[in-house]
Every structure is written in structure tokens, then in C-alpha cells.
Amino acid sequence: MSSFAHSTWRRKFGRASVLCQYLSPRSETVSKLADLIDSQKVVHVRGTPASGKTTLARLLQKYYKAKKRNSIYIGTWRRELDEYPSVEDDPDLHAWSKLDSMLRTRFDPNMDYLAPGTILIIDEAQGSYSDTLFWNEIIKPRLSNEGLDISFCLFCCYGSPLSGLDMELDNDIRAFTPAHFKLAQRVTLTPQSHPSSPPIGLFFTRSEFTDAAQRLIANSLFQEKFTLRPDAEDYLFSLTNGHPGGLRSVLKYIHDFYRHDIKSSDLSVITKEHVVNSLKRDQDVWDKLTQEPISRSLPQDGLTTEVADLLAKVLEEGNVLSLSYHLVSIHLSGVLNTVDLSRARIYPQFNQDNIVTAEMSLPTEDYISDSWKEGLFTNKVVFCTGGAGTICSAQVRALVHLGADACIVGRNVEKTEKAAKDIATARPGAKVIGIGAVDVRKYDDLKNAVDRCVKELGAVDFVIAGAAGNFLASIQQLSVNAFKSVIDIDVLGSYNTLKATIPHLVESAKKHRVDSETLRPSPLGTGGRIIFVSATIHYRAMPFQAHVAVAKAGIDALSHTVSIEYGPLGVTSNIIAPGPIASTEGLDRLLPSDIKETYTKSQPLGRFGSVRDIADATVYLFSNTGSYVSGQVLVVDGASWRMSSGGAAYGQLQYPDFLLTGDAVQNVKGKKKSKL
């Protein structure tokens, strides 16, 4: 191309053609990646095809240009450094001189490529794996902050997270001691749970997902314009896991599916129901997706029966523990990535199973407000008893959404495991363990569950003691065993939870204490906190609830004592006392179905609470906002308990007439008949 033609081309297309104006800028992710490169000198970014590597690399280059920092974007690694001349006699600079020659040959020959502070952004860097000189004499020293002050960001579609090139799988590499990437130098599809891992990934965060979706719809690619309702956004985020290519491809499919209705103005807002309906015909969906960018993430050639079976196993079980011959070609094409170094697990980058079955049970706005910062609890672990219940699952879901991993326990195995899987949809890459067959009345059950949590997730930073039992019954109707059952579940269960987790809470508190001199919070965030879920029932006498009132009073006393005894070690202990919360098991048990509407109107705020109200209170107590709050009861009931009536247990039971009849309470779940 002549200089005139080149300048004409630049005037016509300009740099804007490299990055479409409709692309999400991903400002927070790009900024964090740049900070990571500054601190680590070499960052290895691995992601499957269509996962957004090239776009992120270009956004990074744009970021550096705006900051007036010297950066070079290298689209591919074409030839090995040994093929370029060196003008340096110093053997320590021999490889660097060849790198300089390579860059001068490919780009501006007058630029100082080895100026201190230069950043080289290398896309498709897996092409450099066979370049012994580059990896042995440049990358390896820079991994230890040695050599020239040049930083590298390597974007690769496959490779070992430990060493880049994979000695077991890549037959083309030359024999040499491989590099070693620290956890802090590895970025993959989603943020990993280890405390040292970067808090970013190639996949969109929830806020980036919304921004990207809106920008895509505004693009000329979508000829008919529409709006995504928040519930549709939530569903699509769960469906694609934030996969950039997945978002674009599925959005395009939905646009084409409803194009006629949108064009005729019969449809302008796409809801979750629309999305689910459009994805019902599996074969049609996959036929269309094979023509979209996401198809590059799916295996094309070499899809033998053996490979198909192995991929199906990955989708069903989440990983495979051995690298069989049949997976090598799929791995090297980038469809699967190795992520767990200790056992070389291979994970899929796009959950195809979600196309048909993904169902986010709770939209984000239903379980957490938009007041909290994303990543607030990154690298933290929460342990929760009663975690499959409506309230506790929302508490855990909110923490997971904000970055935490979690372990929930319960009696029912199927329900607990299903709840854990559902909660994990709150954030791409989240790890949520569900352990069933755990009786909180048995200390050994809880101790074993906590040990497993620590073994698999690494710690216990937060605890929610939420297991409880309740039903309506008068003292006359209440047997000794029924009374004891509630006391054992609530009080003994809370105590067992405390005893099993307190050593880990103390350990976490040590790492996350507020500086006693500067009073500044720990840069590592918060930890060492426990919340007991109680109630307001015992704040005054209430019929039909003697067993619960005694149990909750015991829990409150336990929490207060914990705050005094473990406060000097940095542990905070508080109580959340929910009032009437809509659509929960508790309200169904306590409130006769025929008076719900009347009782709702009698509330001071004219409504019941939501699980979001409880989840927000949980985030408040576990975040820095609650760092000086301990030994307290946080009542979340809209002033309900201060009303003169007896609350849900009274309803329209006509005190004392109903009591004097000796009848059992009707039209509620979990009612007890007299065992006297």
C-alpha cells in the first residue's frame, strides 16, 4: 500500500474502525487489568474463542493511549525471535535486541520499543509458545520482575494456567524449563475464588452485561430496535454466564425470532417470558447459533463420538479430571480450558445446557438493591445453615452476587443441592456448595460440613445461623417433644453452628481487622462476622408462639454473649430479626390464608417486607458499613412489632375466645394438633 493510499485509508476508516462505537468500554475491568499489569509485569489472559480477548486487548490499548503511555498491540506472533538480527553484544540483552528488531520490522522503525514502561499487548499469544528465546529469556525473567522494564499482557486461546505452554499437550514445543505464572498473574474467563487471583475475568460483569446489551441493540446489526426488561437481562446473564460472544449471538437470535412483531410495533419490550419462549425449539436455536460468533467457541472439526461423549461429561459434571487423547485437539482449539492446576481440570467456557434449562429463580432486583458495589465480597466465603430457605437463600444469593463463594447446609439433600446450584447463578464463576443430610442439632454434622467448606473453598469469613422451626400451637396443644424440637433446632443448632465455625471466624477476623490507630478498614475487606437470624415474636407475649419466643430469646442472648467474648478477637456478632416477609415459609405457617390481605393493610408501611430487605441488612452488617456494629439486634419489620395487635399469630383468631375453644389453628401450613 502506498503512503498516499495508506493515509487515504486512515482518513476514511480511522482508528474508530478498530473499535466499534457500540462496544461496551468495560472501563472498570480494563482499569483493573492495567493495574494488574503494572504490579505483575506479565499477565497471562486465557479464554476460548469469541470470549472477548481481542476486544479487551484493543480496549486496553485504547486505555493506555488515553493515559499517554507507550503501548504496542501485536495481533499475532508470526515468527520466532531467533529469525531476527541482534545488535547487542551483551548476552543478557541479546533476546531483547531481537525483540526490538522484530517490532521495528513489523511496525514503526523509528519508535523506541524498549523505552522503560512500555507495555506489549500480544493477541493470539499462544502462537509464541514454541518461541524458546522469547519465553526463556524475556518472559521468565519478567515474571520475577527482572530484565528490562517492559510489561506484557498475553492473550491466549489455550494453554496451561501455570506455564502458558502445556508440556503434556503441545507436541510442537521445544524442551526447556517452562515459565511459572503466579495466581495473581492469571486471568481467565471468570474471577477465580482464590484470594490471590485477580478480581476480573474475560466475561462481562453484571453491569457490563447490561451496558453491552444496550449498546448491541443500538447497533445497526439489529435493524429493529427493542428494549430488554430487567427480568430478561437477568435470564440472559444467567444463560450466557456473561459470555461476550454468547450475548451477541443469543441477542441476535432473539431479535430475528421476534423481528416481524418488533417491526410492526406489536412488540417493543422483550421480557423473560419472550426469551424463554424463543429458545424452546432446541434444533432451531443451535442451527442459528452456528452462524453467529458463538460458533467459534464450539467444536467444529474432529467431533468424534469419543469427543462428543467427553464434552457431554464436562457439561454434566462441570469438569474432567484426566486429559485423554481425544480432548487434546479440542483443548488446543480453545474450546476447553485447563483451570485447576492441582488436578488439571478442564472446564467448558459456555454452558450449552443452559440454552434449554436455565431458569434464574430470582431476578437480581428481587434479592438485592443496587446500592452495593460489585465485588464487595470477592474472595470471601459464607457458611449458612438453613440456606435453602426463602430468606436465607436470598441472603446468601446477595453475598454471592457481590463476589462471595458459599456453603449452605440443610436436612433435605435434594432441596439443599438444588438451592446451591440455583444460588450459583447469581454470579459467573461462583462456587456454591450444598450439603444435605445435616442436622444442626448434631454438632458432628456441622463440624464435618464446615471442614468440607474450608477444604473446598479455603475459609469461612461469614456465618449465617438461619436454621429454624416454627408452627402455630398453644401451650395446651404443644407437646413436650414439639417444644424441645424447636428449642433444639433454634438454640442448640445456633450454638453448634457457632462452635463449629468460630475458629475460622477468629482466623478471618485477624486478617480483616480495622486498624486500631488509623481506624481505617483492612484493604483485604471484611471477615470474622456472624449473624443469627431471630424474630420479634418474644418482644412481648404472644399466644400460639411460646416455643418460638423462648427459642428466639435464647438466640438473642447467645449472640450478645458472643459479641462480648469474641469482640476482643475482632469477631462481630449481630442479630437480624425479620418481620412478616412476603412469599416465605414462615409467613405461610403463621398467617391464615383468608386474612392475608387484611393483615397486609394493617402494617405501618402498608406492605410486607421482601427477602431483599433482609439481604440488604445482611450486606450492611457484613461489609465495612457494619464494622463497628456488634452485639446488636437489627429489626427489619417496618415497625410491625410496635403495633398494638399481636401480629400474625393473632390475625382474626379472636383472642381470647379462640384459645378457650381449644381448637387447632386452621388454614396455615405446619399446624400442630394437640398431643396431650
Q: Take residue 222 and report the three cell numbers written for it.
A: 439489529
In three-state secondary structure terms, 271 is coil
Can you name the residues that pair with 581 across neighbouring β-strands?
Answer: 609
Cα dihedral across residues 550, 552, 553, 554: positive or negative: positive
Q: Which one from 552, 563, 623, 640 is the annotated catalytic residue? A: 552
Q: Take residue 586 and report the three cell numbers written for it.
A: 414462615
What number of helices (H) and strands (E) belong to the chain? 26, 16
Buried b or exposed e, range 414-445, using 16+ CB within 10 angstroms: eebbebbebbbbbbbbbbbbbbbebbbbebeb
Q: Which one from 534, 623, 627, 630 is the annotated catalytic residue? A: 534
Can you name the residues that pair with 635 across neighbouring β-strands?
Answer: 577
Residue 604, CA distances (Å) to 538, 576, 607, 645 in order: 19, 19, 8, 12
End-to-end CA distance of the chain: 98
| Residues listed for the chain | 676
Q: How far apart are CA 561 and CA 612, in angstroms?
A: 28
DSSP3 helix / strand / coil % (the chain, rounded to 5): 45, 10, 45
Phi/psi at 324 (5° precision): -75, 165
For the question of residue 534 being annotated catalytic, the response is yes
Cα dihedral across residues 59, 61, 64, 66: positive or negative: negative
Q: How far apart are CA 619 and CA 367, in angstroms?
A: 11
Buried b or exposed e, range 193-207, using 16+ CB within 10 angstroms: bebebbbbbbbbbbe
Phi/psi at 461 (5° precision): -100, -35
Inter-helix orientation angle 390-401/611-622, to 10°: 50
Q: How far apart are CA 560 and CA 238, in angstroms?
A: 39
Catalytic residue set:
534, 552
